[in-house]
Structures are given as structure tokens and as C-alpha cells.
Amino acid sequence: MSALELSAAIRSKEIAVVEAVSAYVESAKQNKHNAFITLNEEYALKQAATVQKRIDGGEVQTPLVGVPIAVKDNISTAGTETTCASKMLSGYKPIFSATAVEKAEQAGMIVIGKLNMDEFAMGGSSETGAYGAVKNPYDVSRVAGGSSGGSAAAVAAGEIPLTLGSDTGGSIRQPCSFCGVTGIKPTYGAVSRYGLIAYASSLDQIGTIGRNIDDCAALLSIISGADSKDSTCIIDKGFEFPEKSAESNGLKSLRIGLPRNYFKKGIESQVKEAVLKAAEELGQAGAVVEEFVMPYMDYTVHAYYIIACAEASSNLSRYDGLKYGYRSGSARTLSEVYRLSRSEGFGLEVKRRIMLGSFVLSSGYYDSYYKKALQTRAMIKSAYDELFKRFDLIISPVAPTTAYKIGENISDPMKMYMGDIYTVSVNLAGLPAVSLPCGFDENGLPVGFQLIGDSFSELKLIKAARVYQQRTGFHNMLATEFAAERERS
């Protein structure tokens, strides 16, 4: 069942909430893909009983009431360990929950556990965390993508119907592409970041991952909206999306831009073919698809990593071995507490980004690097503003490749960083985007594409994604079913 179908069955008394939660808890316990870090069975079952009483009493009848959910481990959950997959935060239990988690629980959803990721969301493969690599459910020898790899893999494996992830430079969209599931990265400011442990504050955004666009949109409508605890959350009220029957007119008069320079070099031929077929499908649904050249493509990754690492070096300075989190047992002086705690508590990729960020912010280099990156960011946003005068949406690949082998690229950071070439500009401009599965390569690995919209154009994105998924079936098969079918054939 999809999440919406499960909730409908719960509300019609076909399935009890405890029954649904127990089934997913048992599935998550197996953790075949190392997607879960923490599983809170006792809390989940207690919450399930409470939600059942609320349903029976007519207190709550939301579209996702009774549905189990899991949360990326950089999103705070009161009383449940939240580690960012880092030794530095081992044992840390927040005293409050993120606003997005609170809204989900108020709507009658049940959080069953926390999901694996790249350490402090720094990575594109979910290999850099302290709890080991997340395995792709389509091929366990391959990465699940990152940094929200656990969030995508758990959905793809059928271990949970919906998850919350975070997207700083493609961290929802890329693992969705690698794992064959659907994800939404909302407009910056549409979902509160309160309780999201910061990597790069001007880029981070909480989003949703599920099997199909309707499940993701339903969860987004719950978690979006104003929050007095987050001054960057500027939306007045949560999104409201129409029923899918309203999309029967297709995409008539919708203008979609296709950046032809995204398909010139560095992209695998089968990824290119699948994304172009998706564009063709949208054209057959009534959209007008027109090619254009995406400006500043050669500068986006460079600007992104300078800005993201600069913000990370500032945000992570609070982890000093004194207030909370990991403290080295070998430290004998205050200086050693700082040095050893951070040396032992952070992993290699986090250290690399802190050092890069500190360098670009340092005296003598600030103007040469950080200031120019900010100027480039402004130019990228301005370019998107001009493009959205011509187009309603932009279609592009999510990643230049399908999922690669675990360990294959981890020692080559430049190669890993260039894998973000199609996604980071969206975060630099604060725009919304959806990632949708659109095919498979010769190895049976999923391919995804993304639709990008102007700020707060989520309604257009959901409509286009819904029409595409009504016309195709790539989102309907779980990885476990695909694997079983491949073994039979």
C-alpha cells in the first residue's frame, strides 16, 4: 500500500494502527540495507495506541493519520538519540522535536526511528557516517546516494512508507534517483528548519520522500507552513494540493525548459536517454518542451562548495567537547579537549569541509573566494528568475550516473562533488524541485529526473509530477519486488 492507501484503510477500520506500526517495525528490525540507526519500538507502539484512540474518538482524520514514518538522523526528535551519523553526537538526545516532526505527529503519524545518512549531511553516497554505508536495495553492493540515503533506501525497500530527509545540495533528490523513489525538495522558507541540525543554514531544507508524488505531497502539506521559531520560514500557511482527479486535463499550455548543455558531456548515455524520454512523455501529455542553455553551469558546483563549507565551518564550531556530545578521554588540558575531541569525533569528510570553509573565510582569501561565490550565487538566482519568465518548469537529470559501487568514489572527493552538478543550483537559488524515477539502466539500477520550479510553485510541480506518474509505472515497483523479478528471469 501507498501511505495514503494505508491511512484510508486505517480510517475505514480495515487495519488497526498498532497492526500497521508493528508490521513496519518488524520490517525495519531486519535493517538489511543499514538504513536505520535507531528504532524506537516501545515509543512507536505506545503512540500507535494513542493515535487509534484519537481516530476512534473522531479527534483526527488527516489523510496520513496512522501512517508510520521515519526521520533522517539530523532532524531532532525529543528523547530519541539524534546523532547526525557522527561519533561527535553519540548519545545526544534532544529535549525538543523539530517543528516538522511535531506537525507530523499532530497529524496522527507515528515516528518509528531515525535513518542513516552521511555524517552531518556531508556527502553524496551515505558512506561517510559513523554507522557504516547505506546499501542500495536494488543492489546491495552499491551506494544509496546521499546524504539522505537511509531515507530513500528505507522507502525503496518497503521498510517504511514515508520519510523525512534534508536537502542542502541535492541530498533528497540524488538518493531518490539512485533508489527509484520520489522526493520533494521544497522552496527555501516553505518548511521550518527549527530542529534541523545545521550543515549550511542558507541552503538546508527539510523535504519528503515516498513511493509516489501523492504521498510526498500529502506529507509536505502537513509539515509546511509558518513557524515563529524559524525566522527564515516565510510561508503564511501550509500547501494545499488538489485531488489527483483534477489532473485529467494533462499539462496543456505548460511550458517546460530542457537545458541542452546538461546532456553534452559527463552524463551516462542510459541516464541521458531515460531523462529525454521523460521529457518526451511530458510533451505527449500536452506540455511544450523547449531547449535552452543553462547559464553558469561551470560555476555552480564551485560556488556551492565554497558557500556550504564556509557555513559548515561556522555551524560546526559549537561541537567543542565541552557542552554536549563527544569528549576525548585522552584530553588533559583545555587545549587538548578542543583538539582531541574534534579530531576523534569528526570523520574525514567533515574535517575536510571544515578546513576548506575556514580557509575561504580567512583573512586574505575571503574576497577571493567566499565573496565571489556569493556574487556567483546572486547571478545564478537572477538567471533562474529570467528563465521562469519563459518557462513554467525546467526538467533535468538528477545525477550524471546511476548508483556506483560502495567504496568506488569515496577516496576521490572531486569526483564525488562533481556528481552534484545538476542539483546544487536549485539550493543556491532557494527553489523547489521534485525527483521522480523514469527508468532503469542495463544493470537494473534506477534512473531519476528532476523538475524545477520557481519559488513557491510547488502546485505546478506536483501537478506535472502527478501527470507523469499517472502515465508511467516506474514508481510502482518496490526494490524487493524488482529484485525478485530479476532473479526469476
Catalytically annotated residue among 2, 76, 86, 171: 171
The sign of the CA dihedral 168, 224, 212, 8 is: positive
Indicate if 72 belongs to the active site.
Answer: yes
Catalytically annotated residue among 72, 103, 185, 244: 72
Catalytically annotated residue among 2, 76, 97, 147: 147
164's CB contacts (< 8 A; 6+ apart) are 69, 70, 71, 72, 75, 100, 101, 104, 151, 206, 207, 208, 209, 219, 223
Grid coordinates representing 368? 577571493
Indicate if 269 belongs to the active site.
Answer: no
- How many Å apart are CA 111 and CA 69, to the nearest integer? 5
- How many Å apart are CA 182 and CA 223, to the nearest integer? 17
SS (H, E, C) the chain: CCHHHHHHHHHCCCCCHHHHHHHHHHHHHHCCCCCEEEECHHHHHHHHHHHHHHHHCCCCCCCCCCCEEEEECCECECCECCCCCCHHHCCCCCCCCCHHHHHHHHCCCEEEEEECCCHHHCCCCCCCCCCCCCEECCEEEEECCCCCHHHHHHHHCCCCCEEEEECCCCCCHHHHHHHCCEEEECCCCCECCCCECCCCCCCCCEEEEECCHHHHHHHHHHHECCCCCCCCCCCCCCCCCCCHHHHCCCCCCCEEEEEHHHHCCCCCHHHHHHHHHHHHHHHHCCCEEEEECCCCCCCHHHHHHHHHHHHHHHHHHHCCCCCCCCCCCCCCCHHHHHHHHHHHHCCHHHHHHHHHHHHHHCCCCHHHHHHHHHHHHHHHHHHHHHHHHHCCEEEEECCCCCCCECCCCCCCHHHHHHCCCCCHHHHHHCCCEEEEEEEECCCCCEEEEEEEECCCCHHHHHHHHHHHHHHCCCCCCCHHHHHHHHHHC
Q: Annotated active-site positions, please?
A: 72, 147, 171
